[in-house]
Amino acid sequence: MPADGDIVATWNVPLHDKIHRIEFEHGTTTGKRVIRVDSQEILRRDWMFKLVGKETFKVGNMKCTINVEALGTFAYEYSLEVNGKTFQKFREEQSKRLYSWEALVAGQDTRIVLDKETMEVWVNGVKIDTAGEFVDNGTETHFEIGTHVCKISAQSSGRKKSGVVHTLYIDNVHIMSQEERRRNQTRTPELK
């Protein structure tokens, strides 16, 4: 594990399976470059004479590029691109596209993600089979996690700015989304 002073940039990249943490080390005297994804070293370059440039790698099926640019004699700027988009633009698009929940199901941390564009449901990074149905005021997407019966209800909020509200139920228990938990400062529920 690196000393905290060696890491010059970190990014949290939200994908279907989880939020991946990317760490970048840059030794400005040795030219060392180290990239870690979720604490696993995926690239190391020692004794590089060129201190600026790009490093390209993959996180899942996403192509990522870290750009190192000089700001002055001994100052550098680090930026991340994901699939050819700036990190900020990618995060904005992902937050519009993916809706996620976390729950403790049968003793396991479980991340459930709804891709609002494709209506696919992912559980811990695995796309699962679902069945959709139209109901009064919206739709329901049904699926199972082990022996647990789940549904995602999609209903109009009645407000143009809010749009559609997605609600997850596991065994008829409402599971707050990550966004709802942040607003209400509640912890992840446990389902036996």
pLDDT interval class at 1 (50, 70, 90)? very low
pTM of the model: 0.75
Judged against a pLDDT cut of 90, whether residue 181 lies above it is answered with no
Provide mean pLDDT across the span 164-186.
82
User: How many CA atoms lie within 13 Å of 83's alpha carbon, on the beta-carbon side?
Assistant: 13
Task: Report the alpha-carbon distance of residue 152 to residue 140 in Å, rounded.
Answer: 6
Confidence (pLDDT) at 31: 78
Q: Which two tokens stand for residue 89?
A: 């633009």
Confidence (pLDDT) at 189: 58
List, for residues 87-132, the tens digit of each pLDDT value: 999 999 998 889 899 888 888 889 999 998 888 999 998 999 999 9
Confidence (pLDDT) at 164: 84
Q: In this prediction, what percent of the chain has a pLDDT beyond 90?
A: 52
- Strands of the sheet containing 40-45, edge to edge, are 7-14, 19-26, 33-37, 40-45
Confidence (pLDDT) at 2: 46
Task: Report the alpha-carbon distance of residue 118 to residue 110 in Å, rounded.
Answer: 21
Judged against a pLDDT cut of 80, whether residue 76 lies above it is answered with yes
Helix (H) or strand (E) holding 58: strand 53-59
pLDDT interval class at 62 (50, 70, 90)? very high
Confidence (pLDDT) at 167: 92
- Which residue has tokens 């004479």? 49
Confidence (pLDDT) at 96: 86
Domains and CATH numbers, the chain: 4-83 (2.40.128.180), 98-191 (2.40.128.180)
Tell me if 29 sits within 8 A of 97, measured CB to CB.
Answer: no
Q: Is 24 buried (19+), middle (13-18) or exposed (0-12) by CB count in 10 A?
A: buried
